[in-house]
Structure 1
């Protein structure tokens, strides 16, 4: 799917794959896709681990809005908005608040025993209201070059947002695939009760994945807010949870829990962002983008359904004897 989208873009716009260097910075359609897709990829990484535990987090968009609102309100309330210390403090406070929200989701799911979709729906609903209270219903515009650099700045010629996403992806991959953490997360997702009886502390793992997902949402929210240089409680991170879930599903992570793939999530995020870019490149109305996303979700869910899996299995079993006979003859 990703290759097909790239081919369509190359046909519609021959310079799609070209990358230019201006003032030591990389520019081009590919760089734009990576930069614009970085916030969604960051959230999708956290969402992957949550879905691997047979859960889901619908509150990430609200957490994005809250983190952006907190950071901008602190910067605006400072006497020196352009100070690196002020920006660092604002970012730190926003991240800490997001961690608390992640712990709250983990508490509702692992301790109280509320279904994840309901537990996170609570924060999804209330989160926008909290962000509105922080901003007092206004769009907070900030003029802080250090803060703006988080969303639209460059380092070593590469967008800072892309570097942040790469670091988070690398850390998540190392922690889950180079240690036993990934296996424990899959065990909890496959069978929570069996993993508990085997000595796996499922409650602690659920706290960890929901807190990490909230952390990813906070970082993505800071990038989105910094790119706009304004905190918009109504629109920051709006529907980004759906894009993140779609990226995870496209990447092959099972919605039933257990099996997950961070590399697949990366490819899924690139597919979604490239799809959005393709819509603009070809000249299709951006409103139709949601229709394409819906079609992709439907196709992927059908492919992952038990009925489809069983049908493919029956087809393979019927085909195997024929292949064996042809090979023997």
Structure 2
């Protein structure tokens, strides 16, 4: 719980800043049976980032990194929209489900490829995933033929822009994925195995853990999360843009994981902290627009705030800055011991 205190406090501070600049920021109302409000929008627009960050959490817990998730987002959205555009009826539920299955299957295959390069071939994770990060954008452009594919499918639009039980459907998807991950990693042995591999891969292998297979599964799951996020992004705008979809989302996902308290050195991880980190980044984006930061300085302002957040979270930084201001306590002499004063 202590690890979540700083992210929760920072998120609360950002929400209060938005309340100052935006009237009725915390107001939630029901229109046409759907919940609306600024807080709902933060969750809805932050859902793709939360999903990508959750998958990235497990990868970082194994002392790895996945720079290809942005490309996987673009590829998955492009493939799904391409398949739907070829349907005789784009409102066919069976056809849409088939297109989603093909797109997610491709995402998992790309994740397995990343895991194979890292676990079997032995390539450094940052290099192995950088290959797909660069080539994936080209693959997405090939799928879309360099164009923006536009579709008009109500079943597909439900994923990113629809509502169910008064809530945005994307929020429900995130909640289900988070619940399944929490159960599998905290109630079963999988979470302990991931932390073991991240802490010391060689010791884990000698103790009988099949670290190679585990790494492949983790990278495949990370790509699957990115694939679902790609479906959300493309369905929300009913189109696929192979060049801009998911651009730089991998960096936001890494930041969300780090802000949430998961160490880049591997080992222990926090799913709750990752969700808070992703919400902080999305809330920060909302805050930037609320206080009227000029668009040309948005990225600089965002980087500055994230840097301050990371410094405040660092125990070493807090110890060096805040403890140095305290006056050193006078030396104490144990009872019964004589003090010799030299002149």
Q: Is the TM-score greater than 0.5?
A: yes
Residue of 138, 142, 162 corresponding to 1:153: 162
The CA distance in 1 between the partners of 2:226 and 2:198, in whole Å, is 22
SS of the residue corresponding to residue 21 of structure 1 reads: strand
Write the deviation string for residues 123-182 of structure 1: whole angstroms up to 9, x where unpaired: 000001001001101100001111111111000000001111111111111110111111
What residue in structure 1 maps to residue 25 of structure 2?
16
What residue in structure 1 maps to residue 297 of structure 2?
288
What residue in structure 1 maps to residue 81 of structure 2?
72
Write the deviation string for residues 241-271 of structure 1: whole angstroms up to 9, x where unpaired: 1111111010000011012100000110110
SS of the residue corresponding to residue 26 of structure 1 reads: strand
SS of the residue corresponding to residue 293 of structure 1 reads: helix
Residue of 288, 293, 310 corresponding to 1:279: 288
Shift of 1:313: 12
Q: What is the TM-score of this pair, normalised by structure 2?
A: 0.89
What residue in structure 2 maps to residue 165 of structure 1?
174
Residue of 59, 75, 93 corresponding to 2:102: 93
What residue in structure 2 maps to residue 49 of structure 1?
58
The CA distance in 2 between the partners of 1:179 and 1:205, in whole Å, is 14
The CA distance in 1 between the partners of 2:295 and 2:82, in whole Å, is 32
What residue in structure 2 maps to residue 36 of structure 1?
45
The CA distance in 1 between the partners of 2:268 and 2:219, in whole Å, is 17
1:120 aligns with 2:165: no
The CA distance in 2 between the partners of 1:222 and 1:252, in whole Å, is 28
Shift of 1:309: 8.2
Q: Is the alpha carbon distance of 1:311 and 1:284 closer, same or farther for their aligned partners in structure 2, counting shifts above 3 Å?
A: closer
CA contact 1:38–1:165 (8 Å) conserved in 2: yes
The CA distance in 1 between the partners of 2:299 and 2:255, in whole Å, is 12
SS of the residue corresponding to residue 233 of structure 1 reads: coil
Shift of 1:293: 3.1
The CA distance in 1 between the partners of 2:134 and 2:180, in whole Å, is 30
CA contact 1:249–1:300 (8 Å) conserved in 2: no
What residue in structure 2 maps to residue 139 of structure 1?
148
Where structure 1 has 5 or more consecutive residues not aligned to the other structure, the ranges are none
1:194 aligns with 2:203: yes
| Count of residues in Structure 1 that have an aligned counterpart in Structure 2 | 323
The CA distance in 2 between the partners of 1:299 and 1:199, in whole Å, is 42
Q: How does 1:224-239 map to 2 (within 5 A)?
A: 224-239=233-248
Mean Cα deviation higher: 196-205 or 305-314: 305-314
What residue in structure 1 maps to residue 339 of structure 2?
none
SS of the residue corresponding to residue 35 of structure 2 reads: strand
Q: Is the alpha carbon distance of 1:282 and 1:59 closer, same or farther for their aligned partners in structure 2, counting shifts above 3 Å?
A: same
Shift of 1:197: 1.0
Shift of 1:288: 2.9
The structure where helix makes up a greater share of residues is 1
Shift of 1:301: 5.2
SS of the residue corresponding to residue 119 of structure 1 reads: helix
Q: Is the alpha carbon distance of 1:278 and 1:309 closer, same or farther for their aligned partners in structure 2, counting shifts above 3 Å?
A: closer
Q: Is the alpha carbon distance of 1:314 and 1:180 closer, same or farther for their aligned partners in structure 2, counting shifts above 3 Å?
A: farther
CA contact 2:285–2:302 (8 Å) conserved in 1: no
Q: Computing the radius of gyration over CA atoms, which structure comes out larger, 1 or 2? A: 2
Q: What is the TM-score of this pair, normalised by structure 1?
A: 0.92
CA contact 2:259–2:313 (8 Å) conserved in 1: no
1:208 aligns with 2:208: no
What residue in structure 1 maps to residue 114 of structure 2?
105
The CA distance in 1 between the partners of 2:279 and 2:267, in whole Å, is 23
